[in-house]
Amino acid sequence: MTRWSGALLSASLLSLSLGLAPQISVAQARELPDFTEMVERVGPAVVNIRTSERVRMSRSENPEIDEQMQEFLRRFGIPVPNQRRGAPRDEDAPQRRGVGSGFILSADGFVMTNAHVVEGADEVFVTLTDKREFKAKIIGSDRRSDVAVVRIEATGLPTVKIGDISRLKVGEWVMAIGSPFGFDNTVTAGIVSAKARDTGDFLPLIQTDVAINPGNSGGPLLNMRGEVVGINSQIYSQSGGFMGISFAIPIDEAIRVSDQLRSSGKVVRGFIGVLPDDLTKEVAESIGLGKPNGAIVRRVEPNGPADKAGMEGGDVITKFDGKAIEKAVDVRRVVAAIKPGSKVPVQVFRRGAHKELSLTVGEMPDDRQASAGGGSEPSSPSSPPAASQALGLTVSEIPDAQKRELKLRAGVRVDAVSGAASRAGLREGDLILSVENVEIGNVKQFQAQLAKLEKAKVINLLVRRGDQVNFILLRPSR
């Protein structure tokens, strides 16, 4: 041992003998969050929810499985297996189906939870921390946001305080209370890992490292002021258990949904009838947009709101109702939040220039996304093909009947591909609508437009395949 290390050891022993180490520990402990007061204050407003449903079964089946695990398996779309067979069972016997959590919104009995907790349930039971149990009525459930509201016949109930999601910061301490595996009022804590994580079409979720397990679903995520900032809803897992990543529905979005559920029992969302997709940097530069900000319209539903407003496949939506659009999910969320019947301005980028449209938002149909169904591949035209050997393309005119059927003004049909065209992903039957942002009316215009381009230039083609359109970048052979 060196003289220096010996001196350090002596100093450490002296500190311990003088009682300095406990003082340092106390000082460090004071910097850590204390959840005790918050748990005592908020805990009584957090409830346990269990559900049952009446399932018609044969007498030869006995699918007994832990109810918490049932809830977990259903959440991630895994079929619930039968554990054993051969035991007799009465038909139409009520089955305990799942457990979850929730929290009391109002003293007169409105409780918020996840839609997947109560989905398909014939009976819902809410248990308070004082062990009182109530049979609840489902007021409304919204699968798209995974928010549900149930009500129990009681008054003078403890309630939660709703927080301001805009004040929530990444790195901030948060706490969850719920009933994982049926253990009522279990408290776990962690920090906010990310805000507005894109994991769903309509809601950006809060990501945390708070331990969430089967049975926590529907419980509150709380900030250090004891305010609810989210509803614990999902986990990311490759093993089936908690792996340090969990997600919560932002409370402001959940409250908007719950208000509609309480007033009408359903949620009304806007709908425009398009299939949006993200724009790549390469395509954005090729079509002259520069940065990949916007959502390309892959398909426009015939006679839908967007079609009536003049929107076309291949348009890039850059603004909707004055809000900048950066990616496809922005279109879905902005549109969904607009009241049906509203007339809004839409900015699109089309063939090298911005264009303003006026669109009347429709109402999203039940159990459908804001996109349209499929279509059929175009049939082969009989017109003689014209060759574009350098690009490996053979094209021909689109028959008038096919144009009318597909509501096309112009374009050419791909009859054969090889070389550069094949490498770019073009296929026989594709319809080329524009070349370098110039609309193509016929084969002659197609050939003339290609002749104007530099031989080594990457060419952007607006291509329709089936009922969808997309930009394809074609790199000529050198």
Active site members: 116, 146, 217
Q: Report which of 126, 124, 121 is spatially closest to residue 154, judged by C-alpha positions.
A: 126
Contact 109, 151 (CB under 8 A): yes
Pairing of strands 161-162, 227-235: parallel
Contact 394, 426 (CB under 8 A): no
Q: Rounded CA gap, 66 and 233, in Å?
A: 20
Beta strands in 22-60 (DSSP E): 46-54
Which helix (H) or strand (E) covers residue 251, if one does? helix 251-264
Contact 225, 356 (CB under 8 A): no
- Residue written as tokens 């009536």? 308
**How many other CB atoms sit within 10 Å of the CB of residue 165?**
20
Coil, strand or helix at 91: coil
Distances 428 to 255, 377, 410, 463 between C-alpha atoms, Å? 50, 10, 18, 12
Coil, strand or helix at 165: helix
Distances 78 to 71, 73, 81 between C-alpha atoms, Å? 10, 5, 9
Q: Rounded CA gap, 227 and 174, in Å?
A: 10
Pairing of strands 459-465, 123-127: unpaired
Contact 452, 461 (CB under 8 A): no
Contact 477, 390 (CB under 8 A): yes
Q: Report which of 475, 474, 410 is spatially closest to residue 445, judged by C-alpha positions.
A: 410
